[in-house]
Amino acid sequence: MRRFSFWLLWSLRELRRRWVQVAVIALVIAIGTGVYAGLSSTSDWRRASYDASYEALNAHDLHVTLAEGSYVPQNDLQNALSAMQHPEWVDQAEERLIQPTQVEASRADDTVLVPGRVVGIPTAGGAPGIDKIYVASGSGFSEGSGAVLDAHFADQYKLPEEGTVELAGGVPVQYSGTGFSPEYFIITTGQGDFNAQANFAVLFMPLEEIQTITGRTRQVNDLVLSLQAGTDRGAAATEVEQALAIALPDVGVEVETIEDDAAYHVLYQDVDSDQGTNVAIAFLVLLGAAFAAFNLINRIVESERREIGIGMALGVPRRTIALRPLLVGGEIAALGVVFGIGIGFLMGSLLGSALSSLQPLPVWRTPFQVGPFAGAAAVGFLLPFLATAWPVWRAVRVEPVQALQTGHLAARGGGLAPLLKRLRLPGKSLGQMPVRNILRAPRRTILTALGIGATIVVLVAVLGTLDSINEVLNRMSAELNKGAPERVTVTLANFQPADSDLAKAIENSPAVGSAESTLTGGASITNEGTRLDMQVQALDMESPIWHPTVNSAVDAGGLPGIVLAEKAASDLHLKPGDTLMLTLPYRTGETTFALRQTEMRLTGLHPNPIRLFAYIDIEEANLFGLAGFTNGFQLIPASGYSASDVKEAMFHLPGVASAQEPAAVADTTRDQLRQFSSIFQIVGGFVFLLALLIAFSAASISVDERRRENATMEAYGVRVRTLLRIAAIESGMIGILGTILGVGLGVLALGWLLSRTSGTIPDIQLLVSVKPATIIITLAVGIAATAIAPLLNVRKLRRMDVPSTLRVME
């Protein structure tokens, strides 16, 4: 027996001889490894950066909000905390006043008028100490003055780092810089969306100033607390709730921990679900590489059956015989991993800088991640290596005599070719060739199809995600725009009597054709242990302007009725006709609301995919204790006026928090998605490349394996062009098989992806939707890549030395 170095050198010679195929497979492995390492690194960077950013701005542990429309005198909330059983748990507490408002930031050529909120925070003496403001540009608060505009919003509309915006009623506010606090690390409008800065503006101002502007002198409606290190947030929340219930019995309060914070939830959930997706994508790419590596090693082993047989006949142990092909497999895998680390490093640094510019945070940490890279290297090596071990193991298990049989005795028809004896194919010999070849090598056909299928899954999943999001947006727009596309919905900053000056001003505005008042309030439903937050709107359920579509309607049977989104009903395990307990704010005084439970009947389901929306008839307004009050309108423009005119008119009325087309969120989200189309083109190109590489590797193996047959055909005058056409059709057919497989599995994968996404954005009913265009693009990519791949062998075929190939004795 020879030394290891002998086998190593021999295996390296093998690599050199097949360097094109080796390079192709190594490249596929490299892409898989690189994708895994690069994407996994970003997950770790994001998690570390979020942790550090929340820490840096001393994010709150607990957040107390008052029921909508409730205000209490300043210091009441803070003072109430002394009634806690363990007041020493609280490190700091700060009161705030948060008011919804319209924000206008229009500039010369661009109208920007969006709903938003002003956040009044203590700014004197080092405050705020909790939920500090990270100033991204310009300057923050000094000496209790200044205002900071949300940087996401400012970036979205390319606003200067200092300037003026107007609040509802035309109140101008000078802002001194842009920035945000932890609750606004990512912007949500509270309707289950995120990255909503195009439709939502936040302005941070000194508490006293906002109290003055809104006429709520020395009033607050919000409290944030930070706890002593090591304190149980849940236990503290319960104590705070109890203390506030004693001190302020008429006011409904809700206490949430930082984990309940919408931005916090979205950020961390998104990292988790992205990480799952990344691993899945990288795994699919590596799987494709493994199949390709398997095919190549299988071919190497098969073409060396005779050497293996001779070795066995000479008494070389099987282990030793297996060593060389195993070394070849290991070397290909190692080569792939080495390049993969490079690709991963490159990808990581690109993604790292893209991330920090796409998502501004006070702290971004992007150190080299040893763990993900080591993991990627291990998987990237093992998967293809194990794929090579199987054919090697099979080859060395045959009897020596079998291995030695060669030439005309061993050159079997192969695979499923005998099937064809029964199955008469139409057409001439050359036309039948592709089908015959496919059936002759069924294992390679299937593995290649699986490899291509694996990459196609990635494309279907990515394009399908886009389709599904678009489908949600379309469902949303269809429901909200039905009947009245020019409708404008208005929300007021506070509840107003139906005959108040503001209500009259709205109804009598010359831009408004018809108006109808609505009442909207935050509420919640608990059923079978699941609690969902709801935004309940009371409106005329028979309104000629707009009313929700009600499916599966049932009679309320004496109880007040409520209409929920399909997803809300199914998440709560409710069906139409069931009764449920609705917790909603009930007016207890001029500016106070308590939370009250009411038994309701689910009278139907509306098709809006946003789970949050619930509707009751305006006749039931008394459930809020608000009969005769209003905090919203739906309007139709007067003839000669447009929706924009109405919005403009509403902006100038103080007390209007927002006026917008009801589907504005869907529309801007759709616009934002369109900006991502280049990403999908990149993914498409990338999948095309992978499919091309895998198909090329298979086709190039076939050309090697059929050299003799091809040479014979050339001797009989069959042209190279015809041989290429046969190969292209054969490969294209494998491509069709793989693509169909990929589309099928892709739809399943999409379902899995969307179910994960549902964890991040549970408020949206995402349904698996794959547009015909996606199927067509996918088929085109899969089939084009596979049909083109064999053409890359043109050189090999043209350069084939026909005489020597024919002369070779097998």
Partner 1 sequence: MGAAMPVTRNKPEVMIRLDNVSKHYDMDSVGVTALDSVSLRVDEGEFIVVLGPSGSGKTTLLNMIGALDTPSSGEIAVAGMRVTGARRKELFSFRRRAVAFIFQSFNLFPGLTALENVQFAVDVTGGHDREEARRMLAEVGLGERVEHFPHELSGGEQQRVAIARALATGNPVLLADEPTGELDFRTGVAILELLRKQAEAGKTVLVVTHNREISRVADRVVELSSGKIISDGPPEGGRALISDLRW
Burial (0-12, 13-18, 19+ Cβ within 10 Å), 656: buried
Q: Is 348 left (phi over 0), alpha (psi -120 to 50) or beta?
A: alpha
Residue 226 interacting with partner 1 (CB under 8 A): no
CB of 721 to partner 1, least distance (A): 9
The number of angstroms, rounded, from the C-alpha of 35 to the middle of its chain's C-alpha atoms is 17
* Residue 142 DSSP label: B
CB of 332 to partner 1, least distance (A): 28
Residue 799 interacting with partner 1 (CB under 8 A): no
Among 125, 126, 426, 717, binds partner 1 (CB under 8 A): 717
Is residue 79 within 8 A of residue 269, CB to CB? The reply is: no
Distance CA 600, CA 379 (A): 55
CB of 5 to partner 1, least distance (A): 27
CB of 695 to partner 1, least distance (A): 21
Residue 421 interacting with partner 1 (CB under 8 A): yes
Helix/strand number for the chain, H first, E second: 25, 22
Task: Please name the amino acid found at residue 182.
Answer: P
Distance CA 311, CA 324 (A): 12
Nearer to partner 1, 483 or 803 (CB): 803
Among 169, 330, 375, 414, binds partner 1 (CB under 8 A): 414
| Segment 119 to 138, residues that bind partner 1, using CB under 8 A | none
Task: Please name the amino acid found at residue 604.
Answer: G
Handedness of CA 83, 89, 95, 99 (dihedral sign): negative
Among 304, 467, 714, 763, binds partner 1 (CB under 8 A): 714
Q: With CB under 8 A as the contact rule, which of the stretches 72-80, 149-157, 405-413, 500-508 interacts with partner 1? A: 405-413
Nearer to partner 1, 16 or 428 (CB): 428
**Any residues with CB less than 8 A from the CB of 393 and at least 6 apart, and which?**
322
Residue 709 interacting with partner 1 (CB under 8 A): yes
Through-space distance between the first and last CA atoms of the chain, rounded to whole angstroms:
26
Most distant pair of Cα atoms in the chain: their distance: 105
Secondary structure (3-state) at 634: strand
Nearer to partner 1, 439 or 694 (CB): 439
CB of 412 to partner 1, least distance (A): 5
Which tokens sit at 400? 């020596």
Q: With CB under 8 A as the contact rule, which of the stretches 382-390, 467-475, 496-504, 710-718 interacts with partner 1? A: 710-718
**Any residues with CB less than 8 A from the CB of 23 and at least 6 apart, and which?**
none
Q: With CB under 8 A as the contact rule, which of the stretches 391-399, 409-417, 526-534, 559-567 interacts with partner 1? A: 409-417
CB of 431 to partner 1, least distance (A): 8
Residue 716 interacting with partner 1 (CB under 8 A): yes
* Residue 625 DSSP label: T
Distance CA 615, CA 632 (A): 14
Nearer to partner 1, 158 or 408 (CB): 408
Task: Please name the amino acid found at residue 285.
Answer: V
Residue 802 interacting with partner 1 (CB under 8 A): yes
Residue 52 interacting with partner 1 (CB under 8 A): no
CB of 44 to partner 1, least distance (A): 52
Which tokens sit at 618? 């305006």
Residue 423 interacting with partner 1 (CB under 8 A): no
The residues pairing with 138 across neighbouring beta strands, listed in sequence order, are: 177
Residue 429 interacting with partner 1 (CB under 8 A): yes
Q: With CB under 8 A as the contact rule, which of the stretches 34-42, 74-82, 435-443, 752-760 interacts with partner 1? A: 435-443
CB of 441 to partner 1, least distance (A): 9
Which tokens sit at 45? 């960077």
| Segment 530 to 549, residues that bind partner 1, using CB under 8 A | none
Q: With CB under 8 A as the contact rule, which of the stretches 330-338, 343-351, 396-404, 432-440 interacts with partner 1? A: 432-440
Residue 428 interacting with partner 1 (CB under 8 A): yes
Nearer to partner 1, 540 or 709 (CB): 709
Which tokens sit at 492? 């007021």
Nearer to partner 1, 682 or 808 (CB): 808
CA atoms within 13 Å, Cβ hemisphere of 687: 33
CB of 408 to partner 1, least distance (A): 6
Distance CA 196, CA 199 (A): 6
How many chain residues bind partner 1 (CB under 8 A)? Answer: 35
Residue 419 interacting with partner 1 (CB under 8 A): no
Query: If residue 494 lies in a helix (H) or strand (E), which one and from where to where?
Result: strand 488-497
Nearer to partner 1, 158 or 421 (CB): 421
Q: 148: closest CA among 159, 157, 219, 194?
A: 159
| Segment 669 to 708, residues that bind partner 1, using CB under 8 A | 708
Site string (622-641) toward partner 1, x via CB under 8 A: --------------------
Is residue 128 within 8 A of residue 182, CB to CB? The reply is: no
Q: With CB under 8 A as the contact rule, which of the stretches 89-97, 114-122, 428-436, 566-574 interacts with partner 1? A: 428-436
Residue 443 interacting with partner 1 (CB under 8 A): no
Which tokens sit at 525? 């439903």
CB of 762 to partner 1, least distance (A): 56
Among 355, 498, 718, 792, binds partner 1 (CB under 8 A): 718
Among 247, 398, 410, 553, binds partner 1 (CB under 8 A): 410
Among 17, 412, 504, 573, binds partner 1 (CB under 8 A): 412
Is residue 530 within 8 A of residue 571, CB to CB? The reply is: yes
DSSP string, 559-598: SPEEEEEHHHHHHTT--TT-EEEEEEEEEEETTEEEEEEE
Q: With CB under 8 A as the contact rule, which of the stretches 335-343, 347-355, 584-592, 799-807 interacts with partner 1? A: 799-807
Q: 86: closest CA among 230, 207, 296?
A: 230
Query: If residue 692 lies in a helix (H) or strand (E), which one and from where to where?
Result: helix 677-705
Residue 418 interacting with partner 1 (CB under 8 A): yes
Kindly provide the residue ranges of all beta strands, DSSP E only, lying in 140-221, ordered along the sequence: 148-150, 163-167, 171-175, 177-180, 201-206, 219-220
Residue 803 interacting with partner 1 (CB under 8 A): yes
CA atoms within 13 Å, Cβ hemisphere of 343: 23
Residue 442 interacting with partner 1 (CB under 8 A): no
Distance CA 774, CA 462 (A): 10
CB of 409 to partner 1, least distance (A): 7
Instruction: Please report which residue ranges of 304-399 form alpha helices under DSSP H.
Output: 305-313, 318-358, 370-396
Among 5, 109, 409, 799, binds partner 1 (CB under 8 A): 409
CB of 18 to partner 1, least distance (A): 22
Among 3, 16, 158, 408, binds partner 1 (CB under 8 A): 408
Among 557, 681, 719, 767, binds partner 1 (CB under 8 A): 719
Residue 214 interacting with partner 1 (CB under 8 A): no
Nearer to partner 1, 515 or 800 (CB): 800
Distance CA 477, CA 665 (A): 9
DSSP string, 65-80: EEPTT--EETTHHHHH
Residue 411 interacting with partner 1 (CB under 8 A): yes
Interface with partner 1 by CB under 8 A: which residues? 407-414, 417-418, 421, 428-430, 436-437, 440, 708-709, 711-719, 802-803, 806-810
